[in-house]
Amino acid sequence: MKYVCVDCHAEYDWTDRRYRCRCGGLLSLRYDKKPIDFRALETHRDRSLWRYRGALPPFDPQVISAVTMGEGGTPLVGIGPKVWGKADYLMPTLSFKDRGAVMLVCAMLQQGVRSCVIDSSGNAATSVAAYCTRVGISCEVFVPSYTSAKKVEQIEAHQATVHRIEHTREDTARAAIEFVESTGAFYASHIFNPLFWEGTKTYVYELYEQFGGRLPEVLVLPVGNGTLLMGAILALDELMGWNAITHYPLIVAVQAANCAPLAATFASGSAGVLTVETKPTLAEGIASAAPARGNEIIAAMRRVGGRFVTVSEREILEARDTLARRGLYVELTSAANHAGYLAAFGSSSMEEAVIPLCGAGLKSAH
Ligand SMILES: *Cc1c(COP(=O)(O)O)cnc(C)c1O
Ligand SMILES: [Zn+2]
């Protein structure tokens, strides 16, 4: 398995503990994966995402069994006639981040990493901290000071050291990177480390199985730093390459109107992410004013013919209440996805769509 620079194409072995190329470029990942035999999976007993092992990074089986908490295999729940929620809030740490974090922690355990650093708006750090503590890897977590108290409590319960950083998500990332560069600690970043997408891509594999060997017409996906979105697009490209699908579903990427640099960039036609004015949003998990992989996200969304929608604070709160009345209690960030579906198609739509219910309601401060 190799890291490959997206700019200069330099290659590094995956045990090279770097988070960027020497040239400063971001890293992608390359390894041999086998096309998934979805027929054979019908009788496979492992319901976790490790049922797709042949198409996942080749970690040692003992490493996987030490780290896994059975993540993946989440149900589809009806929300409307042709609309389903995928209940990723049922993950071990209550958000979809477990799909990616389990990959990062397997990689660390296999190469003998003893301590790591992560910055996040809350859920990614919770997830990395949880998997790390299972296998005795110590974890320095950087979160913005506005992160919900529930998430911080959960992180501390998993024995991580929490650094609360004033101001924005971007200041938090800068503080984490300074710490990484001054200590040489492993940067277990869900944004920089491309292993994370190798886990989030299983969201789409599962949908493919749940729809009986096809995908829904529309995939609504949140986008802050784009880790679920880019994992989903990675899976779509693999499924295309394996001739399992013949076209991309419509991808609707959701941002909070208060913090929508990617939606603005997409609309402007620019290749480079624009600097836009942002305001705080209740959807703390997608509040990324300057996503590190923004240019890649924009290019991928243009390539697959997706679209962006933005949602207001009021729409987010209403969507949370609407879902709660359907029995589904999700965090406000996750309610934004349902608001995004409504913004894109309206409440009487018959579009066949799946919306990620990707964070549990008990994580929100409001
Ligand atoms: C992390 C997170 C998001 C946003 O994911 P990105 O990778 O930043 O695009 C959305 N919803 C929930 C619940 C999250 O935890
Ligand atoms: Zn490079």
CA-to-CA distance for 356 and 26, rounded, in angstroms?
A: 27
pLDDT digits (tens, 9 = 90+) for 39-63: 999 999 999 999 999 999 999 999 9
- Provide the sign of the torsion angle of the four alpha carbons 142, 261, 224, 227, taken in this order: negative
Write down the pLDDT at residue 364. Answer: 77
| Ligand 1 binding pocket mutation candidate from 333, 338, 363 (most atoms within 8 A of CB) | 333
* Strand runs labelled E in 44-137: 76-80, 83-86, 115-119
| Any ligand 1 atom below 6 A from CB of 95 | yes
CA-to-CA distance for 227 and 96, rounded, in angstroms?
A: 10
pLDDT per residue, tens digit, the chain (366 aa), is: 999 999 999 999 999 999 999 999 999 999 999 999 999 999 999 999 999 999 999 999 999 999 999 999 999 999 999 999 999 999 999 999 999 999 999 999 999 999 999 999 899 999 999 999 999 999 999 999 988 898 999 999 999 999 999 988 899 999 999 999 999 999 999 999 999 999 999 999 999 999 999 999 999 999 999 999 999 999 999 999 999 999 999 999 999 999 999 999 999 999 999 999 999 999 999 999 999 999 999 999 999 999 999 999 999 999 999 999 999 999 999 999 999 999 999 988 888 999 999 999 998 766
- Map residue 292 onto helix, strand or coil: coil
- What CATH architecture is 98-187? 3-Layer(aba) Sandwich (3.40)
| Any ligand 1 atom below 6 A from CB of 228 | yes
Q: What is the DSSP letter of 110?
A: H
Query: Ligand 1 center to residue 316 CA distance, Å?
Result: 15
CA-to-CA distance for 288 and 196, rounded, in angstroms?
A: 18
CA-to-CA distance for 91 and 72, rounded, in angstroms?
A: 7
Position in ligand 1 atom list of the atom nearest CA 358 = 13
Position in ligand 1 atom list of the atom nearest CA 356 = 11
| Ligand 1 binding pocket mutation candidate from 228, 234, 288 (most atoms within 8 A of CB) | 228
Please name which ligand lies nearest the alpha carbon of 200: 1
Write down the pLDDT at residue 169. Answer: 87
Give the count of beta carbons closer than 10 Å to the beta carbon of residue 36: 22
- State pTM to two decimals: 0.97
CA-to-CA distance for 280 and 330, rounded, in angstroms?
A: 19
Alpha carbon nearest to ligand 1 atom 3, residue: 285
192 Cα distance to chain centroid: 12
H or E element in which residue 262 lies = helix 261-268
Given this chain, do its domains 76-93+197-363 and 98-187 carry the same CATH topology? yes
Please name which ligand lies nearest the alpha carbon of 3: 2
Write down the pLDDT at residue 366. Answer: 66
| Any ligand 1 atom below 6 A from CB of 313 | no
CA-to-CA distance for 164 and 93, rounded, in angstroms?
A: 20
DSSP string covering 173-242: HHHHHHHHHHH--EE--TTT-THHHHHHTHHHHHHHHHTTSS--SEEEEE-SS-HHHHHHHHHHHHHHHT
Q: Is 178 exposed, middle or buried (0-12, 13-18, 19+ CB in 10 A)?
A: exposed
- Do residues 97 and 69 touch, judged by C-beta distance below 8 A? no
- Do residues 215 and 352 touch, judged by C-beta distance below 8 A? no
CA-to-CA distance for 338 and 171, rounded, in angstroms?
A: 29
Write down the pLDDT at residue 224. Answer: 97
| Any ligand 1 atom below 6 A from CB of 226 | yes
CA-to-CA distance for 87 and 115, rounded, in angstroms?
A: 31
| Any ligand 1 atom below 6 A from CB of 227 | yes
| Any ligand 1 atom below 6 A from CB of 265 | no
| Ligand 1 binding pocket mutation candidate from 150, 225, 234, 329 (most atoms within 8 A of CB) | 225
| Ligand 1 binding pocket mutation candidate from 120, 172, 334 (most atoms within 8 A of CB) | 334
Q: Find the angle CA(351)-CA(242)-CA(244) to the nearest 5 degrees.
A: 30
Write down the pLDDT at residue 365. Answer: 67
Query: Ligand 2 center to residue 20 CA distance, Å?
Result: 8
Please name which ligand lies nearest the alpha carbon of 93: 1
Strands 11-13 and 2-5: antiparallel
Task: Please provide the CATH number assigned to the domain covering 76-93+197-363.
Answer: 3.40.50.1100
Write down the pLDDT at residue 254. Answer: 98
Structural domain spans, the chain: 1-31, 76-93+197-363, 98-187
